């Protein structure tokens, strides 16, 4: 058992909520809403929004910002001009769960007045007035509607997370706001003093209208209200960025939380977490437990281990229920974490850092924090974007412990030493400083912002990272030599995919294998299709064999998709759609395929089929011509090619990085001379995943700007 040293943190205390007697769910929700800290300042907040075009709202997590403010604004007439209220979230899970909650609070079905939209899923309608969405999605909307004309209010929520999309969005919204207010004053296009980007927006709007509007007739837009919401205490950076915009603070309700550290460093954080969970369960008073883990895999193994250990406990001590929450969990399961635990039971919520600020789960009294988080990092020299596990910042650790003190005094167990806490960085580096920028650069260019380096970012990305992404966009043919967006680039930007995948679809339409590439791209866009539980490794490997292609993982994925689709279509001929879906899930289970991932891939597939059809691309099939398909893979993924070395390792042609083929790949043993791959992962080695066998000469033929015949 990790030994814990107590370290008291004192916080301001408030009285707990009064419990109602037997009341209906509706009344209960009404009561909860009234008790939220934000409810006390409803009118004041609404006034502030009325008086300020840009407002920054800082408030402790759980005070009611995300769920309540949009409802207040709706109630107080901010949609009267026909516009709607948009709220962006960095995470899909937050957008979905919050929208569901708000629809329930309003007593209406989701998708009507209240809805959400995330990539590949739109649960809104013409009636939707409060729309939750991811920040990335709103950026995409700006491509089609540069003035974001349907919104009267846009709330950028969780701005402190500083995701790359939030940062870009802030810059963009600043311009949209300027352009919309100019349209009211009738000053458009003629103002050459406007900032580079504001000007770009106007020019783009001009282009869209074939120049007919040129500086005379201009549509008038209502002003855009912009609200930036954040959980951290430092509003200054946002306020300064928005020219000294007003910041208001919403007081939270926080009980004291005792912080415990371990006496010595923990080597196995999963084991330490387990021990702590059971220590709490067996020795502490009532209250649910929130455990911060790094991802789906870790969550699933901790869940399994908890169940194993529970079986060893006497019957009376087994009243512990586990609830995972992570982004790829199906949404009906995500909602389960919000249900109160049945009488006499304790809930253990196993969460990624979703639960740090974006999702508030009631009833938590104990937090277990191993101090780790999965984060994106980017190595501009190698051009490698990867997800790795890093230590949290101090700010994150504080947010996490704060989750224990919402409903009463709580305890937080940090699975590291106090001296280690002191060494943590104060806050996390914004994502824009640590990820591949090609997607964002492509989008900005499609929005008419050519000079990306001088774009008014809240924090500038590194120049090398921008230059590198321009270089890879150039190699993909998305930008021209003088850094302008090409026609291909414009097409690529219309697809909701990574630039490399968008390009692959365009290339495939020329090769005559778009039908197959659409499937490959959909399958590559989801988390692991194959499901290999530790205790059934042998069986799952055998199952994979029936789909495996000696040509590589892309064709293997294609085989899986086709087999699943054939099975589904046959079933649909004799059964209802529901029954066919159910049978498909069973088929997945029998074949060790992750049915959730497959479902997601099928959804993505149908959306991108619609996208390419709208773009006028011809969806033709190469049938069984695998040679043609592999040539197309080479022509699409030439940026990620590698050659076998004498020792059996691979050398990535562009970066020189030495990598291995990942053991999960069908080519792990075959080790062909030359490969293309889609993914690079770092654990103790650098591995490449989703690999296909190609011929080096194809690279010379199909990507001559990069490859020459070797001596
Ligand atoms: O945005 P902020 O962190 O200020 O709070 P919020 O997300 O609006 O949450 C306000 C309250 O709603 C919290 O007490 C949550 O526990 C509750 N809530 C809920 O019960 N179910 C949800 N799906 C979302 C929020
Ligand atoms: Mg919130």
Q: Tell me what pLDDT residue 194 has.
A: 40
The label of the residue with tokens 């680039």 reads 489
Q: Tell me what pLDDT residue 498 has.
A: 93
Spell out which residues line ligand 1, taking CB within 6 angstroms.
36, 59, 61-68, 97-98, 101, 338, 360, 362
Closest approach atom of ligand 1 to CA 68 = 8
Ligand 1 mean position to 253 CA, how many Å? 13
Which residue owns the Cα nearest ligand 1 atom 13?
62
Greater model confidence, 9 or 649? 649
Helix and strand element counts for the chain (H, E): 25, 22
Q: Tell me what pLDDT residue 332 has.
A: 72
Closest approach atom of ligand 1 to CA 362 = 16
Q: Look at residue 229 and tell me whether its pLDDT is greater than 70.
A: yes
Q: Tell me what pLDDT residue 214 has.
A: 39
Q: Which residues surround ligand 2, an ion (CB under 5 A)?
A: 66
Q: Tell me what pLDDT residue 204 has.
A: 56
Closest approach atom of ligand 1 to CA 357 = 3
Could you please report the per-residue DSSP string of 475-534? HTTSB-TTS-B-HHHHHHHHSSS-HHHHHHHHHHHHHT-HHHHHHHHHHHTSS-SB---G
User: Residue 21: pLDDT band by 50, 70, 90 thresholds?
Assistant: very low
Ligand 2 mean position to 531 CA, how many Å? 34
Closest approach atom of ligand 1 to CA 335 = 23
Ligand 2 mean position to 411 CA, how many Å? 22
Candidates 56, 247, 251; CA nearest to 155 is 56
| Residue 512: C-alpha distances to residues 28, 103, 300, 622, 652 (Å) | 59, 45, 41, 6, 28
* Strand 650-652 relative to strand 641-644, pairing: antiparallel
Task: Say if CB 144 and CB 217 are below 8 A apart.
Answer: no
Candidates 257, 318, 323, 322; CA nearest to 282 is 318
Q: 167-178: string of b/e by CB count within 10 Å (b at 16+)?
A: bbbbbbbbbbbb
Q: Closest ligand to 159 CA? A: 2
User: Residue 213: pLDDT band by 50, 70, 90 thresholds?
Assistant: very low
Q: Look at residue 419 and tell me whether its pLDDT is greater than 90.
A: yes
Q: Which of 59, 360, 365, 405 best tests ligand 1's pocket when mutated (most atoms within 8 Å of CB)?
A: 360
Q: Which of 60, 64, 110, 161 best tests ligand 1's pocket when mutated (most atoms within 8 Å of CB)?
A: 64
Q: Which of 40, 62, 73 best tests ligand 1's pocket when mutated (most atoms within 8 Å of CB)?
A: 62
Of the ranges 324-333, 477-486, 535-544, which is most confident?
477-486
User: Residue 528: pLDDT band by 50, 70, 90 thresholds?
Assistant: confident
The label of the residue with tokens 């200054």 reads 236
Distance CA 387, CA 582 (A): 34
Range with the poorest average pLDDT among 175-184, 633-642, 669-678:
175-184
Closest approach atom of ligand 1 to CA 157 = 1
Q: Tell me what pLDDT residue 334 has.
A: 82
Distance CA 695, CA 635 (A): 11
Burial of 503 (0-12, 13-18, 19+ CB in 10 A): buried
Which residue owns the Cα nearest ligand 1 atom 18?
360
Q: Look at residue 549 and tell me whether its pLDDT is greater than 70.
A: yes
pTM of the model: 0.86
Q: Closest ligand to 64 CA? A: 1
Q: Closest ligand to 58 CA? A: 1
Which residue owns the Cα nearest ligand 1 atom 7?
66
Which residue owns the Cα nearest ligand 1 atom 10?
64
Ligand 2 mean position to 61 CA, how many Å? 6
Q: Tell me what pLDDT residue 455 has.
A: 94
Q: Where are the beta strands (DSSP E) in 181-245?
A: 225-230
Closest approach atom of ligand 1 to CA 100 = 23
Closest approach atom of ligand 1 to CA 252 = 4
What is the mean pLDDT of the segment spanning 496-520?
97
Which residue owns the Cα nearest ligand 1 atom 6?
64
Task: Say if CB 38 and CB 63 are below 8 A apart.
Answer: yes
Ligand 2 mean position to 135 CA, how many Å? 14
What is the mean pLDDT of the segment spanning 57-85?
95
Using one digit for the tens of pLDDT, what is the confidence trace for 235-256? 899 999 999 999 999 988 789 9
Q: Which two tokens stand for residue 183?
A: 């349209």
Q: Which of 67, 329, 334, 404 best tests ligand 1's pocket when mutated (most atoms within 8 Å of CB)?
A: 67
Q: Look at residue 131 and tell me whether its pLDDT is greater than 80.
A: yes
Give the residues across from 375 on adjacent strands: 388
Q: Closest ligand to 406 CA? A: 1
Q: Which two tokens stand for residue 82?
A: 């026909």
Q: Tell me what pLDDT residue 615 has.
A: 93
Q: Half-sphere exposure of 709 toward its Cβ, with a 13 Å CA cutoff?
A: 1
Closest approach atom of ligand 1 to CA 61 = 3
What is the mean pLDDT of the segment spanning 219-239?
88
Q: Which two tokens stand for residue 677?
A: 């791959």
Q: Tell me what pLDDT residue 256 has.
A: 94
What is the mean pLDDT of the segment spanning 605-612?
95
CA–chain centroid gap for 28, Å, is 32
């Amino acid at each position: 058992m990790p030994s814990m040293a107590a370290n008291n943190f004192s916080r301001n205390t408030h009285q707990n909520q009064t419990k109602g007697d037997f009341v209906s769910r509706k009344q209960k929700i009404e009561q909860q809403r009234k008790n939220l800290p934000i409810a006390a300042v409803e009118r004041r907040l609404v006034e502030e929004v009325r008086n300020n075009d840009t407002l920054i709202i800082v408030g402790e997590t759980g005070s009611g910002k995300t769920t309540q403010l949009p409802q207040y604004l709706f109630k107080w007439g901010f949609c009267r001009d026909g516009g709607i209220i948009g709220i962006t979230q960095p995470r899909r899970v937050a957008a979905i769960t919050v929208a569901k909650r708000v629809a329930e609070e309003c007593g209406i079905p989701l998708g009507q007045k209240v809805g959400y939209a995330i990539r590949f899923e739109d649960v809104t309608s013409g009636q939707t007035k409060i729309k939750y969405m991811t920040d990335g999605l709103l950026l995409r909307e700006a491509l089609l509607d540069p003035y974001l004309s349907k919104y009267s209010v846009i709330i950028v929520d969780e701005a402190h997370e500083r995701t790359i999309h939030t940062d870009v969005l802030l810059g963009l919204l600043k311009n949209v706001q300027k352009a919309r207010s100019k349209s009211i004053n009738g000053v458009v296009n003629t103002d050459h003093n406007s900032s580079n980007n504001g000007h770009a927006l106007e020019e783009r709007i001009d282009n869209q209208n074939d120049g007919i509007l040129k500086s005379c007739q201009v549509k008038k837009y209502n002003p855009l209200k912009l609200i930036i919401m954040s959980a951290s205490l430092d509003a200054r950076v946002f306020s300064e960025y928005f020219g000294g915009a007003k910041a208001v603070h919403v007081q939270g309700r926080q009980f004291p939380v005792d912080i415990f550290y371990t006496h010595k460093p923990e080597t196995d954080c999963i084991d330490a977490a387990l021990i702590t969970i059971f220590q709490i369960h067996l020795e502490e008073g009532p209250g649910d437990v929130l455990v911060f883990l790094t991802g789906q895999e870790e969550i699933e193994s901790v869940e399994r281990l908890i169940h194993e250990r529970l079986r060893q406990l006497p019957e009376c001590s087994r009243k512990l229920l586990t609830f995972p929450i992570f982004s790829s969990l199906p949404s009906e399961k995500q909602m389960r974490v919000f249900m109160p635990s049945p009488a006499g039971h304790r809930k253990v919520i196993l969460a990624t850092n979703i639960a740090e600020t974006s999702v508030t789960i009631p009833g938590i009294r104990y937090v277990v924090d191993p101090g780790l988080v999965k984060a994106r990092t980017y190595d501009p020299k190698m051009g490698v974007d990867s997800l790795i596990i890093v230590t949290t910042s101090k700010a994150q650790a504080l947010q996490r412990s704060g989750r224990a003190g919402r409903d009463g005094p709580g305890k937080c167990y940090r699975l590291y030493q106090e001296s280690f806490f002191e060494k943590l960085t104060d806050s996390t580096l914004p994502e824009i400083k640590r990820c591949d920028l090609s997607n964002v650069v492509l989008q900005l260019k499609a929005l008419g912002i050519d000079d990306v380096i001088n774009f008014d970012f809240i924090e500038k990305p590194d120049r090398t990272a921008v230059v590198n992404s321009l270089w890879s966009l150039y190699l993909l043919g998305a930008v021209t030599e003088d850094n302008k967006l090409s026609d291909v680039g414009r097409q690529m930007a219309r697809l909701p995919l990574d630039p490399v995948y968008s390009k692959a679809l365009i290339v495939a339409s020329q090769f005559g294998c778009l039908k197959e590439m659409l499937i490959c791209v959909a399958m590559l866009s989801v988390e692991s299709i194959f499901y290999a539980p530790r205790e059934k490794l042998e069986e799952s490997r055998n199952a994979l064999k029936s789909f495996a292609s000696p040509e590589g993982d892309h064709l293997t994925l294609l085989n899986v998709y086709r087999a699943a689709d054939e099975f589904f279509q046959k079933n649909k001929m004799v059964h209802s759609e529901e029954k066919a879906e159910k049978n498909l899930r069973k088929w997945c289970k029998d074949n060790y395929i992750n049915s959730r991932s497959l479902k997601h891939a099928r959804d993505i597939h149908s959306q991108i089929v619609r996208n390419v059809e709208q773009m006028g691309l011809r969806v033709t099939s190469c049938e069984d011509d695998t040679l043609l398909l592999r040539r197309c893979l080479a022509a699409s993924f030439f940026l990620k090619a590698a050659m076998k070395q004498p020792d059996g390792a691979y050398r990535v042609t562009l970066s020189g990085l030495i990598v291995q083929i990942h053991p999960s790949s069908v080519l792990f043993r075959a080790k062909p001379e030359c490969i293309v791959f889609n993914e690079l992962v770092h654990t103790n080695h650098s591995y490449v995943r989703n690999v296909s066998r190609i011929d080096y000469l194809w690279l010379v033929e199909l990507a001559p700007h990069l490859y020459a015949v070797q001596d």
